[in-house]
Amino acid sequence: MTTAPHRARADTAFLAALFVFLGLYVALIVAMLVADASFTSPADLWEAIRSDEIQSAAVLSLVTATLSAILSVWFAVPIGYVMTRFSFRGRALLDAVLDIPIVLPPMVIGLSLLILFSTPIGRAIESVVPITYQKPSIVLAQFAVACAFAVRTMIVTFQQIDVRHEHVALTVGCSRGQAFRHVVLPQVRRGMLSAFLLAWARALGEFGPILVFSGAMRMRTEVLPTTVFLELSVGRIDAAVAVSLLMVAAALIVLWIGRSFGLGRIGQ
């Protein structure tokens, strides 16, 4: 028979087990960051940041990730609204399609983009705007993945908005567009910021698709993850770690912005 002291001991053991898992994982995350930081010195870091290649990669990374994140939110807002407010045939299928970029191996996305732009339609586009192995390919590769995350965020956001607000807006004289603009959009601003930050962080870290679709040309299509790869491949671990720390700093800033706007977890 279970006695009270026995139950108390079992509860303590259960809670202890929960905290062991939490502690182990947090320890792994912190240990990785500490290891990075202790591997390099401020002098090495400064040396790396001063190099023309890394500066150019950092600027290109910031510009492309920001463009990709803006584009992602621009698409994710209408897509999320359609997916939460309208029921139609094939909706479940469409919902699954929207998750493909999340589950597909990143390299495959790069390869698929490369092949897409070698088809007749792709070549027709290329004849007007050169994309493959050019800077626009970086934005497209980042957008292809980051948008899927922004869409997920916006779907969750719109699901939390009571549809009766729109119903009332329609009865007081709004068109559907006016109800969306004046009643729905002001309620999803935080969700949009969350989607933007998540997309931005994904885009900044995107590597596989960019390597395949944009190449790894120094000073031309080199973004920060490409720099890490190039520096590692020639054995310059110091520089690779320095660039990694730059990206860690960018990620922490994103987290901090998200928290300071009271978003809770980014992506929700």
Partner 1 sequence: MSILLDKVSIRAGDFGVDGLTMDISTGSYAVLMGRTGCGKTTLIETLCGLRPLAGGRIVLCGTDVSELRPADRGIGYVPQDGALFPTMTVHDQIAFPLRIRKLAPDAIESRVSELSSLLGLSKLLDRLPAGLSGGERQRTALGRALSFHPRVLLLDEPLSALDDETREEVHGVLSDINRHTSVTTLHITHNRADTEALADVVHILSPSGIDPSDP
By the rule CB under 8 A, 168 interacts with partner 1:
yes
Least CB distance from residue 188 to partner 1, whole Å?
10
What's the number of CA atoms in the CB half-sphere (13 Å) around residue 53?
17
177 binds partner 1 (CB under 8 A): no
Contact pick of 141, 169, 192, 239 for partner 1 (by CB under 8 A): 169
Q: What is the DSSP letter of 182?
A: I
42 near partner 1 (CB under 8 A) = no
Question: Which residues, at least 6 apart from 201, have a Cβ–Cβ distance to it below 8 Å?
Answer: 250, 251, 254, 266
CB of 175 to partner 1, least distance (A): 6
Find the DSSP H helices in 104-236.
106-116, 120-128, 135-159, 163-171, 176-179, 189-205, 208-214, 224-233
210 contributes a contact to partner 1 by CB under 8 A: no
Rounded to an integer, what distance in angstroms lies between the CA atom of residue 206 and that of residue 106? 8
By CB under 8 A, tell whether 261 contacts partner 1.
no
Least separation in angstroms between CB 82 and partner 1: 18
Considering the complex, state which of residue 91 and residue 123 has its C-beta at the smaller distance from partner 1.
91
Say whether residue 174 binds partner 1 (CB under 8 A). Answer: yes
**Among positions 16, 162, 234, 260, the unique one binding partner 1 when judged by CB under 8 A:** 162
Q: How far apart are CA 69 and CA 77, in angstroms?
A: 12
Which region, judged by CB under 8 A, interacts with partner 1, from 4-12, 42-50, 62-70, 183-191?
183-191
Under the binding rule (CB under 8 A), the answer on residue 186 touching partner 1 is: yes
Rounded to whole angstroms, how far apart are CA atoms 152 and 268?
A: 8
Q: Which segments of 40-105 does DSSP mark as H helices, in order?
A: 42-50, 52-85, 91-103
Options 164, 234, 235, 260; binder of partner 1; rule CB under 8 A: 164
> Who contacts 98 (Cβ-Cβ below 8 Å, separation ≥6)?
79, 83, 148, 151, 152
CB closer to partner 1, 46 vs 261: 261
175 binds partner 1 (CB under 8 A): yes
Toward partner 1, which CB reaches closer, 165 or 220? 165
Residue 109 to residue 219: CA distance in whole angstroms? 23
Task: Give the C-alpha separation, 150 to 75, whole Å.
Answer: 9
50 binds partner 1 (CB under 8 A): no
C-alpha span between 85 and 82 (Å, rounded): 5
C-beta of 194: minimal distance to partner 1 in Å?
17
Binding residues for partner 1, rule: CB under 8 A, are 162, 164-165, 167-175, 178, 182-183, 186-187
